[in-house]
Amino acid sequence: MSLFITFEGGEGSGKTVQARTLYRKLTRLNVPVILLREPGGTPLGDRIARLLKWASDTEISPFSELLLFNTSRTELVAEVIRPALANGEVVICDRYTDSTVVYQGYGRGLDLELIKRTNGTATGGLIPDLTVLLDVPVEEGFARKGVSARDRFEQEDVTFHYKVRDGYIRLAQAEPERWLVVDGCQFRARIAQIILKRVSQLLGGVDMGGV
C-alpha cells in the first residue's frame, strides 16, 4: 500500500531524527519505503539545495526562493516520489510544500495563495496522506542546534522563526485530518510511538511493535 508521509517543523524540532526513525522501523518490518529530504533528492535538486541554503555571496529574493524550491520539488516529484508511490512504496519526505508556505509565506511575507498555486503546479497537486509536525518553542529548537554552522534560514532573526512556527500551527488547524501535531519536547521514543501508531492505522493496522 503506497503512502506519502511528510515531516515538518522549525529549526531544531527533531523532524529529521523522527523521519529517519520511522524509515528504519518500516525497513525492519520489510515495508517498501524510501526516505527523501527537501530541497534535493535529484542531481538538479541537490545543486539548488546548496545554493538556497549556503550561498553567502548571492542575494536571493523571496520570490526566487519560491521558484527555486519548486524547481527542485518538480524534479523530485516526477523522478522519485510519483514512481515510488505508483510502485506501492511508502515515501517519507523531510519537508515538502508546507515548508514553502510557512517559510516563504508566513516568514518572508509572500502571498499565500500565490505560493499554494505555485506549489500545486510544481507537484501536479500531489498532497501527503500524513504530515507530521514536530512543534517546539523557537528558543528550544535553537538551543538544541547549539553553535553549529547555520544556513541562510537559520540565520534569520527570532521574529522570522516565530512567524514560521505560527504558520505551521495555522496550517495544521486548517487541515486536522492530514496533520499530526506532536509536542517535540517529549522524549524521542515517545514521539516515535505516537507517529508509529498513526502510520500503523494508515497502513491498515500493520503491527509496528516497539520503536
Domain containing 41 — which CATH number? Answer: 3.40.50.300
Handedness of CA 117, 56, 38, 13 (dihedral sign): negative
Number of folded domains that form the chain: 1
| Cα 160 to chain centroid, rounded | 18
207 assigned to some structural domain: no
Expressed as residue numbers, the domain containing 180 is 3-202
Alpha carbon of residue 201 to chain centroid: 21
Kindly report the pTM of this predicted structure: 0.94
Within a domain: residue 210?
no
Gyration radius of the chain's alpha carbons = 17
Interstrand relation of 3-8 and 33-37 (parallel, antiparallel or unpaired) = unpaired
- Could you tell me if residue 24 is inside a domain? yes
**35 located within any domain:** yes
Q: Is the pLDDT of residue 114 over 70?
A: yes
Among 41, 42, 23, 40, CA closest to 32: 23
Average pLDDT over residues 22-30: 96
Q: Is residue 152 part of a domain?
A: yes
Residue 206 has pLDDT above 70, yes or no: no
Q: Which of 128, 132, 127, 126 is CA-nearest to residue 196?
A: 132
Lateral strand order in the sheet of 3-8? 33-37, 90-94, 3-8, 130-135, 179-183
Asked whether the beta carbons of 112 and 105 are under 8 A apart, the reply is yes
pLDDT for res 17: 96
Regarding predicted confidence, which is higher, 146 or 2? 2
Q: Is residue 27 part of a domain?
A: yes
**DSSP letter at 86?**
H
Peptide bond into 137 cis (omega under 30): no
Phi, psi of 199 (to 5 degrees): -65, -40
**Distance between CA 100 and CA 115 in Å, rounded?**
7
* pLDDT above 70 for 34: yes
User: CA 174 to CA 70: how far, in whole Å?
Assistant: 23
Residue 182 has pLDDT above 80, yes or no: yes
Domain membership of residue 211 (yes or no) is: no
Q: Which three cell numbers stand for residue 173?
A: 488547524
Q: Is residue 49 part of a domain?
A: yes
Residue 134's nearest CA partner among 35, 37, 32, 7 is 7
The pLDDT of residue 211 is above 70: no
Stated as kind and residue range, the H or E segment containing 16 is: helix 15-28
